[in-house]
Chain A
Amino acid sequence: MSWQPKILAFCCNWCSYAGADLAGVERRQMPPTVRIIRVMCSGTVDPAWVLEAFLEGVDGVLITGCHPGECHYLNANYHTARRYRLLEAFVKEFGLEPARLRLEWIAATEGVKFAEVVRDMTDKIRALGPSPLRPEEGVR
């Protein structure tokens, strides 16, 4: 296969990072398209990082956090949800395809779900092609 999308995933230490790990341990079928950055909470993901990731040339950004009500820091993922909603609107207004940005709640036990989300996102982005924000000289 020629072109593979590059997806950057911000994964919460307490849930989805472990979920991603589990997906690996259980040897779930998952395309090699995702690069994971572990964060202490999805609520620490600064939208500016998401914008920077796109400018650096990633083809998609995935943010994953604990299910509502299960945040390790009480309600920080409600802040994540708010920022995500605005980011989503931002991406639409900016003219970037909405499928390039995604938020998912994934628990530590949900290795299957993590693998599924990555597979699905990869398929959708593969259909779209490389990000139009990718720098001319390519991704570093």
Chain B
Amino acid sequence: MTGQSYLAWAKDPEIRKRGGSGGFVTAALIAGIKEGIIDEVLLVRRIDQFESVPYLTHDPEEVKSASSPQLAAPLNLSSYIPRGVKVAVTTKPCDARAIIERAKRGRFELEDVYMVGLNCGGTMPPVSTVASVRDIFGVDPDTVTGIEIERGELIFKRDRGEDLTISIDEAEKKGYGRRESCKYCNTNIPEMADLACGNWGVPSDQRATFVEILSAKGEELFEAAKKTSMIEFEDATQKELEKRLKIDRRMRELANRRWDEVAGVLDEMDRLAYYINEFSRCIHCESCKIVCPVCVCEADAKCLDMGQGNNHYRISLYNMIRLFHLMDSCIGCGQCEDVCPVDIPLTMIHQRFERRMEEMIGYRPGFDLQKPPLQKPEEGVK
């Protein structure tokens, strides 16, 4: 039932063992294919521990081989969703929010997309993560077989040799760890998805996935997993429910504190000078536009069209239009900042504008199918 939470795990011991928590996600995806609910699954497949790519498949074996969370995979799956097929997607909150914004803008029907949500405490940039193994532990990164974050500890698993452990705080003080945009992202449970799966709330001696059912589509997948006997489960207890929400609250507090640290400095600053200076480095590679999951304009985009060749401006019209257009739709996914070749802190900047809009209008992009504020008329004008 929608709103219900369970501890669930895959019956297949191999899926349960390989899964990030209890293998429920993998089991439910396979059940969805077998029951004909979905045609395709879009997930993340590892090339190695530090490199993963989006992967579209309808083969249960492929789904099985892709289980386990990829922490060093800061990608957004929403841009790879095929049109016109029923597809299940494993979604971190930023994937799910992007999917909703893309659906609003007609890229696909939300009805066709099953969002199997994953709680997310953050992803890590692959290159600095590789470097951290070498720099912090003096160990060859090739020996690492898995990366986990558990109870504030960053753990590099190894087949031969001991696991390498450092607290996330300490790693981040040294300049490693999660992406900056993840540190201040304050949406950790994908409440806008169809299911929310994670390990928060699961007792430490139990191998299970905490599953919250968030919609009829989520229920459909859960029922399929039950019907095909792919999973076993029990109701989440009150204590487990509370523990999960407590951790979520704590994570959000930390994120907001981080936001105040990195973005608060701009409050008192000459922001105009700051923005002009940061964007003066822009080489107009257009990557930030290409990767932005909530921007669906193609080659005829206004930022590209109007933004060409006005190089006497203090800041390019391309950048200005993007700043304005994303004000009601930036979900803070970090993709733009990841790819900016001149290291402009784009996500922080877009989020400054977006969060101002949020405060003013009370609208948050990526949570529901409401029209974006810029497309709506003002109510009660005097």
**A–B in direct contact per CB < 8 Å:** yes
A residues in contact (CB < 8 Å) with B: 47-48, 51-52, 55-56, 68, 75, 77-79, 81-83, 85-87, 89-90, 92-96, 132-137
Q: With an 8 A cutoff between CB atoms, is B299 at the interface?
A: no
A50 (CB) vs chain B CBs: closest residue: B324
**Inter-chain contact A92/B356, CB cutoff 8 Å:** yes
- How many angstroms between the C-alpha atoms of A11 and B278 in the bound complex? 34
Chain A positions within 8 Å of B376 at CB level: 79, 82
**Inter-chain contact A79/B356, CB cutoff 8 Å:** no
Measured as residues with beta carbon below 8 angstroms from the partner, the interface class of chain B is: 20 to 34
**Inter-chain contact B324/A51, CB cutoff 8 Å:** yes
> In the complex where A48-B324, A86-B327, A86-B357 touch, is A95 in contact with B271 (Cβ < 8 A)?
yes
**Inter-chain contact B377/A85, CB cutoff 8 Å:** no
Q: With an 8 A cutoff between CB atoms, is B82 at the interface?
A: no
- How many angstroms between the C-alpha atoms of A86 and B324 in the bound complex? 8
A87 (CB) vs chain B CBs: closest residue: B324
Q: With an 8 A cutoff between CB atoms, is B374 at the interface?
A: yes
**Inter-chain contact B272/A85, CB cutoff 8 Å:** no
**Inter-chain contact A79/B323, CB cutoff 8 Å:** no
Chain A positions within 8 Å of B274 at CB level: 95
Give A56 Cβ to nearest chain B Cβ, in Å. Answer: 8
A90 (CB) vs chain B CBs: closest residue: B324
A55, A75, A135, A137: most-surrounded residue (chain B CB, <10 A)? A55
**Inter-chain contact B313/A55, CB cutoff 8 Å:** yes
B361-382: CB near A (< 8 Å → 1, else 0) gives 1000000000001101111011
Chain B positions within 8 Å of A83 at CB level: 374
Give B98 Cβ to nearest chain A Cβ, in Å. Answer: 21
> Can you sample 26 A-B contacts with CB below 8 Å?
A47-B324, A48-B317, A51-B317, A52-B317, A55-B315, A56-B313, A78-B379, A79-B377, A79-B378, A81-B377, A81-B378, A82-B373, A83-B374, A85-B361, A86-B357, A86-B373, A86-B374, A89-B356, A90-B323, A93-B352, A95-B272, A95-B274, A132-B272, A133-B315, A134-B314, A135-B312
